Amino acid sequence: MRAAELPTTVQLDIVFPKNNTVYKPVYPFPVVFGLHNGSAAWSYVIKWNWEIVALDGEPSANNIIASGGYFPGVPGIEKPAPPPKKCLIIDPVDEIVNATAQKLFMRYSFAITDACNETTGDIPIDRKPNVSLNQLVFFSLDPENGLMPNITATGPCATPVGAIGIQKEIPGFSGPCPILADDMRIIDR
């Protein structure tokens, strides 16, 4: 039984950190996303991830300060299905309090994968039916002059990462398979 009528839209918003903002390096530092209608995609492969990267110094793999997200099928990080409407995804970051970097960015992505070719019902090797949305947010740390992280502060609550449409479901080799679209409207907040 489906959790939602199709077609439908699943949307991810970035709530915190906000772009071009200076924060105090606190413990734990919040990374917060808003997920709209996530339960509609939970029976498929829905995932999001993020990495906070230091911009100070020479570029290297060691510049990644923290990372997180949700990757289905990885033992130890399975999550229950979200509520049908909206929910917050809150990842506490321990490493920010000890970061020496002052300028940072967070790259993040949101995807529904393992989508099928509508004609064959197969998951193509090239993964063209998948939809993945990627963005960046830039922020800085200043222990003296930075703002305390506050997701309830006034102003715009969230910035949409994007919306992925689930057009319909067809029988696939290993079960129901979504037919996706990446040009869906952003859900009203």
- In terms of phi and psi (left: phi > 0; alpha: psi -120 to 50; beta: otherwise), the region of 148 is beta
Q: What is residue 171's three-state secondary structure?
A: strand
Using only C-alpha atoms, the chain has a radius of gyration, in whole angstroms, of 18
* CATH class given for the domain over 8-181: mainly beta
- pLDDT of the residue at 88: 86
Q: What is the DSSP string of 31-51?
A: EEEEEESGGGGTTSEEEEEEE
Q: Would you say 2 and 51 are in contact if contact means Cβ atoms under 8 Å apart?
A: no
- CA gap 165, 152 in Å, rounded: 29
Per-residue pLDDT for the chain (189 aa), expressed as one digit of tens each?
344 688 888 889 998 899 999 999 999 999 999 888 888 887 788 888 999 999 886 666 678 899 998 766 554 555 666 667 788 888 999 988 888 889 999 999 988 888 887 787 777 777 777 888 899 999 999 999 999 988 776 556 678 888 888 888 888 777 778 888 866 555 544
Q: Is the pTM of this model over 0.85?
A: no
**What's the half-sphere exposure (Cβ side, CA atoms, 13 Å) at 169?**
15
Q: What is residue 124's three-state secondary structure?
A: coil
Return the domain boundaries, the chain: 8-181
**What is residue 128's DSSP assignment?**
T
Preceding omega of 75 cis (within 30 degrees of 0): no
- CA gap 94, 66 in Å, rounded: 8
Q: Record the tokens describing residue 24, joined without a space.
A: 């105090």
Outline where DSSP puts E strands in the chain: 8-16, 21-23, 29-36, 45-54, 64-70, 86-93, 103-113, 131-141, 159-172, 175-181
